[in-house]
Amino acid sequence: MTSADDRATLVSVARAAGVSRQTVSNALHAPGKVAPETLERVLAAVAELGYRPSLAARQLRTNRSRTLGLRLEHWGGGISGSVLDRFLHALVDEAQGRGYRVVLFTADDDSGEVARYGELLSSGQVDGFVLTSTHHGDARTAWLLERSVPFATFGRPWPSPGAEQEVSRDHCWVDVDGAAGTRAATEHLIAAGHEAPAYLGWPDGSGTGEDRRLGWAQALARAGVDPAAAVELKVPDSTAAAVEAVTAALSGDGGAVGAGGAPTAVVCASDSLALGARGAAARLGRPLEVIGFDDTPVADAIGVSSVAQPLGEAATLAVDLLLAQVEAGPDGPPPPRQHLLAPRLVLRGAP
Amino acid sequence: MTSADDRATLVSVARAAGVSRQTVSNALHAPGKVAPETLERVLAAVAELGYRPSLAARQLRTNRSRTLGLRLEHWGGGISGSVLDRFLHALVDEAQGRGYRVVLFTADDDSGEVARYGELLSSGQVDGFVLTSTHHGDARTAWLLERSVPFATFGRPWPSPGAEQEVSRDHCWVDVDGAAGTRAATEHLIAAGHEAPAYLGWPDGSGTGEDRRLGWAQALARAGVDPAAAVELKVPDSTAAAVEAVTAALSGDGGAVGAGGAPTAVVCASDSLALGARGAAARLGRPLEVIGFDDTPVADAIGVSSVAQPLGEAATLAVDLLLAQVEAGPDGPPPPRQHLLAPRLVLRGAP
């Protein structure tokens, strides 16, 4: 590898071939303008010196940066925050395998993220975007669709009342079927003899949260149990809040949404909540089967069952969907496609 | 914000001002070549249309990408893996505040990382690099130093036998004083009445690991305890391995490096190990004070004391050190500087 200081330049190639810089440029970009034997001499010098036209110069010609943009969310702490970081690792690997890089930026909210899109697009620094954390009333996808900017989201569009809803649903996305995950978890617990597993979820208002709750309710209903009669707890995504809520539920205290008695098993919307549920049961010396969500490193470390998202597959498909738009030929981009991936139930015994 | 489709171009500015494209370009980059009243008309059109020369064009002139490169390590699982992801979040925030972006790439090892440096530099895509996970025999820093490429490392150079050692130590780095962290943890336990806290660390060969072990040994020596007489366990960074080793040590089994009896407190090289130590003690019903390292979300969630690295400060300083080199004026880059940051002991009671 040549060093940054002595690498070949247009000037050194021109000198080696005994031609002008313009002739080198023509040989590379408009070879028809160059006499055959001159062309041969220039290309031999290019090959011998290992000359590579700079990216900045190539970009001016191809209008392609081979770079994908992604907003890196602020570090929020918490056990489940690592899910998007794991997706990022998979995305960078996948993009690199396809010859693309990932450039990161931050923003405080949707409008800040849209402002960054504008900056990156107008300066030609990205070919498209990957979006994470789709949510009710997402302003980002409508903005990108209006401008025909290539993008794909990890997370489906969550319907919400609003005029742009139908438009913004029609784009490329990859998501994981959360309901299928909690349904499998609940069915596993019912098969193991727990008549009415409880649900420990988040407060209303999260599309992801409602999806995960749905799978639990579906599995109960299929087993002939009215979800309204089972224990349901709603707490913020913190282990401490989960400890408190589950302690109350196991003690027969109020606080549970449903009318059931003390649960013997609980399906959780996250591993943070699962950790709290297990802590509460251990402290009270009560048996409680717990299944979390996201299969975080902590679930693995302490032996809690959990629902694993196929993050590698999600990243591969997101890059596929995005690059199909970026690299679309003369016939224009393909119609939007969507992938809803099945999660996997990972069963563990306590260590 | 104008859309990507109707944004101002050199052509639209030229048309609005009634001049040639070359005149617009001259007005922006060589205003002395343009008659004053023409210049005024062109700049008015630039302002009115909101024209921004593209980044690719600006790069050709300034030879600056305003982008910093960072290798994103492969996702390794584990509780402590999140430390570098938290550093990444802080780094992207800090870089953006200074008008720089962060582009990510991956590599399997040092030589793969160096190959990427070469690609990014020769294509003009980065102004410099941030390196993480410095290690014995690090081949990357010598490569960058030889080529005078701006860089800063998060992690100090770890000495190892080899010719390039002295050269590669003399660069910009930021690191956290791991020994100070374990020293504070050990002193805290001694002050709380534990005569000889044990150490649960990694196998030999890690500069970071040896640094963390050192603080424990120093605190014992200062308290008049021979570290060789205390219990010392060496295991890979996994919770399961920690459970096994601590179970053996608490049971009076062999396996401990030192000759001490069953410990009543243990300082750990990571939160993964701390989690295992606590699990082993709980299972045996034995009291054991545990202090981890890295203050991961799991330590917070389950109430384990830990040593916190100041990752935000480290990112700020790494960007400072790197940009001082990138933006060095005619007098050339400043001499290398280093920052060794003090960690913080975070004490928690079990929930």
A-chain residue closest to B66, CA distance: A125
First to last CA, chain B: 50
Maximal C-alpha separation, chain B: 91
Per-residue pLDDT of chain B (351 residues; tens, 9 = 90+): 334 445 677 788 888 899 988 888 777 766 677 887 888 888 788 777 877 666 555 554 566 789 999 999 877 666 766 788 889 999 999 999 999 999 999 998 999 999 999 988 887 889 999 999 888 888 999 899 988 899 999 999 887 655 444 444 589 999 999 999 999 999 999 999 999 999 999 999 888 999 999 999 999 999 999 999 999 999 999 899 999 999 999 987 655 554 457 899 999 999 999 999 999 998 899 999 999 999 988 888 888 999 999 999 999 999 999 999 998 876 778 888 999 999 999 999 754
**CA-based nearest distance B254→chain A, Å:** 21
pLDDT given for residue A131 in this prediction: 96
Looking at residue B75, the DSSP 8-state letter turns out to be: P
pLDDT score recorded for residue A180: 98
Whole-number pLDDT of residue B170: 82
Contact A180, A343 (CB under 8 A): yes
Bigger pLDDT: A168 vs A190: A190
Cα of A24 to nearest chain B Cα, Å: 17
Position B261, amino acid: G
Residue ranges with strand state E in chain A:
67-71, 101-105, 128-132, 151-154, 173-176, 198-201, 232-234, 265-268, 289-293, 305-308, 338-341, 344-346
- 151-210 of B, contacting A, C-beta below 8 A: none
Q: Which of A75, A92, A149 sits opposite B104 (nearest CB)?
A: A92
Sequence-ordered list of residues with C-beta below 8 angstroms from that of A235, at least 6 positions apart, any chain: A200, A201, A202, A203, A241, A242, A244, A245, A273
B-proximal residues of A, 94-113, CB under 8 Å: 96, 101-106
Closest to B237 in 3D by CA, of B261, B194, B205, B215: B205
Banded pLDDT at A305 (limits 50, 70, 90): very high
Q: Going by C-beta distance under 8 Å and a sequence separation of 6 or more, which residues neighbour residue B194?
A: B263, B264, B265, B289
* Higher per-residue confidence, B309 vs A21: B309
Confidence of residue A253 (pLDDT cuts 50, 70, 90): low
CA distance A268 to A266: 6
- In angstroms, what CA-CA distances link B340 with B92, B153, B175? 21, 12, 5
Query: Between chains, do B1 and A57 touch, taking CB under 8 Å as contact?
Result: no
- Mutate which of B7, B89, B268 to test chain A, going by most A C-beta atoms within 10 A? B89
Mean pLDDT over each residue of chain A, to the nearest integer = 86
Per-residue pLDDT at B56: 53
Instruction: Locate B348 and state its tokens.
Output: 């928690």
Encode pLDDT of A261-271 as tens digits.
Answer: 789 999 999 99
Mean pLDDT of A273-299: 92
- Residues paired with B346 in a beta bridge: B306
The alpha carbon of residue A19 is apart from the nearest alpha carbon of chain B, in Å, by 22
Answer whether A301 sits within 8 Å of B1, measured CB to CB: no
Residue of B nearest to A242 (CA): B301
ipTM of the complex: 0.74
Which residue in A has a C-alpha nearest to residue B8's C-alpha? A122
Query: With contact defined as beta carbons under 8 Å apart, do B106 and A96 qualify?
Result: yes
Residues A42-88: tens digit of each pLDDT: 878 887 787 766 655 555 456 678 999 999 987 766 676 678 888 99
Neighbours of B194 (CB within 10 A): 18
Distance CA B317, CA B323 (A): 10
Residue A309 has pLDDT above 90, yes or no: yes
* C-alpha distances out from residue A118 to A92, A114, A165, Å: 22, 6, 22
Q: Which residues of B touch A90 (CB under 8 A)?
A: 75
Which of B103, B114, B275 shows the shortest C-beta gap to A103? Answer: B103
Question: Are A101 and B96 in contact (CB < 8 Å)?
Answer: no
Q: Is residue A240 predicted with pLDDT exceeding 50? A: yes
A-interface mutation test, from B7, B59, B144, most A Cβ less than 10 A away: B59
Query: At A175, is the secondary structure helix, strand, or coil?
Result: strand
With beta carbons under 8 A apart, name residues in chain B contacting A4.
121-122, 147-149
| A180-221 pLDDT, tens digit each | 999 999 999 999 999 999 999 999 988 899 999 999 999 999
Asked if residues B236 and B202 have their Cβ atoms less than 8 Å apart, the reply is yes
Q: What mean pLDDT do residues A106-110 have?
A: 91
Section A285-301 average pLDDT: 92
Listed by number, the residues of chain A in 206-235 with a beta carbon closer than 8 Å to a beta carbon of chain B are: none
What are the strands of the beta sheet with B198-201, ordered from one edge? B232-234, B198-201, B265-268, B289-293, B305-308, B344-346
- Tracing tokens 């960078």 back to the chain, one arrives at A92
A94 versus A60: the higher-pLDDT residue is: A94
pLDDT of residue B41: 85
The closest CB to that of A106, out of B52, B96, B114, belongs to B96
> Are B351 and A240 a contacting pair at CB < 8 A?
yes
Pairing status of strand A101-105 against strand B101-105: antiparallel
Q: State the smallest CA–CA distance between residue B46 and chain A in angstroms.
A: 15
| Between B333 and A250, residue with greater pLDDT | A250
